[in-house]
């Protein structure tokens, strides 16, 4: 009986570890970054603050992460195609590229310059 219980417990733990699911966080949503590749070469970048950070801090951290992901994927610039703000959360959908930028609108960022300008502001 002990062997059956131990085997069941190990299988349950392995299933939780492999899916990334486990006990829910009773204090609220988890904090940190999440990234997701989407169709059409777009990426969704989300940041949830672990505390009551200002909207400016949340925005800067999300923007910095978008710049870092852009560089990590071998690109030079990104453009924000959509943005959703929530309480202590921001989600950006970005399109990345290298070389010649798109139209160069106000929502387009050079990834290296963006990271440099945010250094010290994102703690």
Give 59-103 pLDDT, tens digit per residue: 999 999 999 999 999 999 999 999 999 989 999 999 999 887 666
Length of the chain: 123
Q: What percent of the chain is modeled with pLDDT above 90?
A: 54
Number of domains in the chain: 1
CATH code for the domain of 64: 3.30.70
Q: What's the pLDDT score for residue 99?
A: 82
CB 70 within 8 A of CB 62: no
**Rounded Cα distance, 117 and 46, in Å:** 20
Decide if 55 is inside a domain: yes
Decide if 18 is inside a domain: no
- Residue 77: which domain range? 29-118
Does 36 have pLDDT greater than 90?
yes
Provide Rg for the chain, Cα atoms.
Answer: 19
Entry pTM: 0.71
Decide if 76 is inside a domain: yes
Decide if 12 is inside a domain: no
Q: What's the pLDDT score for residue 62?
A: 97
Decide if 91 is inside a domain: yes
Decide if 83 is inside a domain: yes
């Amino acid at each position: 009986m002990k062997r059956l219980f131990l085997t069941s417990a190990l299988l349950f733990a392995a299933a939780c570890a492999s899916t990334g699911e486990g006990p829910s966080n009773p204090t609220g949503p988890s904090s940190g970054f999440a990234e997701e590749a989407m169709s059409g070469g777009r990426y969704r970048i989300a940041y949830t603050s672990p505390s009551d950070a200002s909207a400016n801090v949340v925005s800067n951290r999300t923007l910095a992460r978008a710049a870092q992901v852009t560089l990590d994927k071998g690109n030079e610039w990104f453009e924000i195609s959509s943005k959703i703000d929530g309480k202590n959360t921001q989600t950006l959908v970005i399109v990345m590229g290298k070389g010649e930028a798109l139209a160069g609108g106000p929502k387009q960022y050079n990834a290296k310059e963006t990271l440099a300008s945010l250094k010290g502001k994102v703690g």
